[in-house]
């Protein structure tokens, strides 16, 4: 044997059919869907699993360095602002139309469960899509928003395009909200809407627009003469090009050079008199765009669990192959512990995201109870903020599970972490969404709806260890409720400071409750102990970020630590 033959090479991880291999998804669908519906949709899910684990994954690896390109001028000096996207994105656009990645939700072939079908497809597609799910999320959000406002002319014009299954007819939509004033405090929007000869025209700069290739967009602008803040804004519909293919008063200044989502042509735009139409009156734009936010946040949560699942699939496959210190990683107790902890986080995130999906489907079918309306209002931001953080943690751990290979670009693995990192930023950061949860709680009965949901889930456990874990979930939620009531009455600033830990505690307790319910079901119907084990492992990972002394936070100490200012201490 030559020295070269004896050399050691690691073997890369491989993927199988991403539907067949996904125990968590399949078990969830078995519990949630009527048998005839599952039989009906399974071939499409299996096909998506094949595409996602096969050709799309291969193309994603081959096409790694191919990023979107902006060409602003042609050879003769004309401003053209042409954006070219990667081959995978072009294939993804065709696939999205043909496989109904928007249409499935609006055709509603399976009533209130259509969203489960729709988001199961999306979840399978997402990790191999190079975040083509971004324009799809906004397309879905735009369709939902136009329908919510019942603007007949716009619905008739745009909806058949947004929900088309014909790649040649299908449009995607942008959601242009973020300006130089920031993405969180949308009320600061500077874009102005001016009525000229009966036509609304928009003037301003949009600082983050994902993705610049869309045929239409929903955006916010302040009609001249309106007051400040979100109330003074109006929601506008615009098409990016006219019938001759010329831009509608839009200049693309540059594409963003981002940490991740590198294939998404996120652009800075100037609107120079863009023709637009109001969607829902001439004020209250922030409220008017809220349906869109709730849909894109749900996509965000589903994207987060799709990414976590991919990180685990690759890490697990690699652990079967990689031998070190005389054994496969899969046989090393500490490595197994690490993977088990990641799996439990993913299981919890999966069930929370799909609970939001179920309720969204019910909302669209008109079958939500008043309590479920309240529940959905806070479930969406909580699912978004919690799963975003879980996705970053799981992706980071997955890279580590590959050692140095996880840190090397041409393995394709670093993308997992880069693309995860955006999930807790766009569509509302963790802190902004935590405050959104507080505002929503202060307006309605969402907290009691949350408690009731958790109580019902916990009551379904019978296996003694699951019953004990259910007790912990309930006690944690009771403590969180006491924290909210006390803090709200005593110290609004204290409540704000605790908002993230409060929202996370609500979210993690609900993830546990959902895991326990599914764990019991899987014991009863599949004789499978893995979901129950995931629930118990999840509890060990920790669900309570408030603790007994939640109200003991000292605001002066936090301020001194945050700003590094002097702090007299003791006495």
Binding positions for ligand MFK, rule: CB under 6 A = 133-134, 137-138, 175, 177-178, 183-184, 186-187, 208, 210, 229-230, 286-287, 290, 293-294, 296, 299-300, 303, 426-428, 432, 436, 439
Closest distance between ligand MFK and the C-beta of residue 294, in Å? 5
Distance CA 139, CA 295 (A): 10
Single out the residue of 518, 311, 306 nearest to residue 400, CA to CA: 311
Closest distance between ligand MFK and the C-beta of residue 120, in Å? 15
* Torsion angle (degrees, nearest 10) of CA 540, 541, 546, 547: 30
Burial of residue 188, with CB atoms counted within 10 A of its CB: 0-12 exposed, 13-18 middle, 19 or more buried: middle
Q: Report the Cα 10 to chain-centroid distance in Å.
A: 34
**Which run of H or of E encompasses 254?**
strand 250-255
The residue with tokens 């909806």 is: 159
Strands 199-209 and 79-84: unpaired
**Which run of H or of E encompasses 327?**
strand 327-328
Nearer to ligand MFK, 231 or 321 (CB): 231
Closest distance between ligand MFK and the C-beta of residue 179, in Å? 10
Nearer to ligand MFK, 32 or 219 (CB): 219
Nearer to ligand MFK, 428 or 531 (CB): 428
Closest distance between ligand MFK and the C-beta of residue 265, in Å? 12
Would you state the structure tokens that stand for residue 398, as one six-digit string? 């997955």
The answer to whether 143 and 163 are in contact (CB under 8 A) is yes
Centre a 10 Å sphere on the Cβ of residue 334 and count the other Cβ atoms it contains.
8
Closest distance between ligand MFK and the C-beta of residue 374, in Å? 12
Distance CA 383, CA 54 (A): 29
Nearer to ligand MFK, 252 or 532 (CB): 252
**Angle in degrees, 0-180, between the axes of helices 414-421 and 370-401, rounded to the nearest 10:** 150
Nearer to ligand MFK, 295 or 457 (CB): 295
Centre a 10 Å sphere on the Cβ of residue 142 and count the other Cβ atoms it contains.
31
Single out the residue of 428, 396, 402 nearest to residue 415, CA to CA: 396
Q: Which residues pair with 218 in a beta bridge?
A: 175, 237
The answer to whether 381 and 503 are in contact (CB under 8 A) is yes
Residue 258 CB-half CA count within 13 A: 25
Nearer to ligand MFK, 114 or 178 (CB): 178
Closest distance between ligand MFK and the C-beta of residue 131, in Å? 6
Nearer to ligand MFK, 27 or 210 (CB): 210
Nearer to ligand MFK, 175 or 461 (CB): 175
Nearer to ligand MFK, 223 or 230 (CB): 230
DSSP for 200-236?
A: EEEEEEEEEES-TT-SEEEEEEEETT--STGGG-EEE
Closest distance between ligand MFK and the C-beta of residue 455, in Å? 25
What's 180's DSSP letter? T
Phi first, then psi: what are they for 108, rounded to 5°? 50, 45
DSSP for 60-109?
A: HHHTTT---EEEEE-TTS-EEEEEE--HHHHHHHHHHHHTTTTHHHHH-T
Closest distance between ligand MFK and the C-beta of residue 10, in Å? 30
Single out the residue of 348, 354, 346 nearest to residue 312, CA to CA: 346
Closest distance between ligand MFK and the C-beta of residue 491, in Å? 21
Distance CA 313, CA 317 (A): 6
Closest distance between ligand MFK and the C-beta of residue 439, in Å? 6
Nearer to ligand MFK, 500 or 518 (CB): 500
3-state secondary structure of 51: helix
Nearer to ligand MFK, 271 or 458 (CB): 271
Distance CA 471, CA 53 (A): 39
Nearer to ligand MFK, 208 or 318 (CB): 208
Nearer to ligand MFK, 347 or 436 (CB): 436
Residue 557 CB-half CA count within 13 A: 6
Would you state the structure tokens that stand for residue 164, as one six-digit string? 């088309």
Closest distance between ligand MFK and the C-beta of residue 221, in Å? 14
Residue 251 CB-half CA count within 13 A: 11
Nearer to ligand MFK, 287 or 490 (CB): 287
Closest distance between ligand MFK and the C-beta of residue 17, in Å? 22
**Angle in degrees, 0-180, between the axes of helices 370-401 and 285-321, rounded to the nearest 10:** 40
Closest distance between ligand MFK and the C-beta of residue 472, in Å? 30
The answer to whether 207 and 267 are in contact (CB under 8 A) is no
Closest distance between ligand MFK and the C-beta of residue 433, in Å? 7
């Amino acid at each position: 044997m030559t020295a070269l033959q004896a050399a050691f090479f690691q073997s890369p991880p491989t993927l199988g059919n991403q539907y067949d291999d996904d125990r968590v998804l399949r078990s969830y669908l078995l519990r949630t869907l009527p048998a005839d519906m599952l039989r009906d949709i399974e071939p499409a899910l299996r096909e998506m699993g094949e595409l996602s684990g096969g050709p799309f994954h291969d193309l994603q690896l081959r096409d790694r360095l191919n990023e979107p390109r902006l060409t602003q001028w042609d050879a003769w000096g004309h401003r053209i602002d042409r954006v070219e996207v990667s081959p995978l994105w072009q294939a993804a656009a065709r696939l999205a139309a043909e496989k109904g990645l928007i249409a499935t939700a609006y055709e509603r072939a399976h009533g209130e469960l259509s969203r489960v079908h729709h988001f199961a497809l999306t979840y399978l597609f997402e990790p191999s899509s190079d975040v083509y799910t971004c324009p799809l999320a906004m397309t879905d959000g735009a369709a939902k928003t136009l329908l919510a406002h019942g603007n007949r002319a716009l619905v008739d014009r745009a909806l058949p395009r947004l929900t088309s299954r014909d790649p040649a007819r299908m449009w995607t939509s942008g959601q242009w909200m973020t300006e130089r004033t920031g993405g969180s405090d949308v009320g600061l929007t500077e874009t102005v809407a001016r009525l000229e000869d009966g036509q609304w025209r928009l003037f301003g700069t949009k600082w983050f627009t994902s993705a610049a290739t869309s045929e239409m967009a929903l955006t916010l602008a302040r009609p001249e003469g309106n007051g400040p803040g979100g109330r003074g804004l109006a929601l506008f519909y615009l098409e990016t090009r006219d019938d001759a293919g010329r831009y509608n008063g839009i200049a693309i200044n540059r594409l963003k050079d981002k940490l991740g989502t590198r294939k998404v042509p996120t652009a800075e735009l100037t609107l120079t008199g863009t023709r637009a139409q109001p969607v829902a009156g001439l004020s209250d734009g922030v409220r008017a765009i809220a349906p869109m936010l709730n849909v894109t946040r749900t996509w965000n949560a589903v994207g987060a669990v799709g990414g976590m699942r991919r990180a685990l699939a690759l890490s697990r496959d690699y652990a079967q192959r990689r031998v070190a210190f005389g054994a496969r990683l899969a046989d090393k107790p500490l490595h197994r512990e690490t993977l088990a902890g990641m799996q439990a986080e993913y299981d919890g995130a999966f069930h929370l995201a799909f609970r939001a999906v179920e309720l969204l489907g019910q909302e669209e079918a008109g079958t939500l109870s008043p309590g479920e309306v309240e529940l959905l209002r806070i479930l969406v931001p909580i699912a978004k903020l919690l799963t975003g953080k879980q996705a970053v943690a799981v992706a980071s751990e997955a890279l580590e599970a590959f050692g140095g290979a996880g840190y090397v670009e041409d393995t394709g693995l670093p993308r997992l972490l880069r693309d995860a990192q955006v999930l807790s930023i766009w569509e509302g950061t963790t802190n902004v969404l935590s405050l959104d949860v507080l505002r929503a709680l202060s307006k309605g009965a969402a907290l009691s709806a949350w408690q009731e949901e958790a109580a019902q889930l916990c009551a379904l456990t019978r296996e003694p260890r699951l019953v004990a874990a259910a007790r912990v979930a309930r006690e944690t939620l009771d403590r969180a409720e006491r924290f909210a009531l006390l803090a709200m009455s005593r110290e609004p600033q204290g409540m704000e400071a605790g908002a993230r830990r409060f929202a996370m505690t609500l979210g993690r307790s609900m993830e546990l409750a959902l895991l326990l319910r599914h764990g019991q079901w899987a014991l009863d119907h599949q004789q499978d102990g893995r979901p129950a084990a995931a629930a118990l492992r999840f509890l060990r990972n920790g669900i309570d970020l408030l603790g007994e002394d939640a109200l003991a936070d000292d605001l002066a100490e936090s301020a001194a630590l945050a700003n590094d200012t002097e702090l007299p201490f003791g006495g």
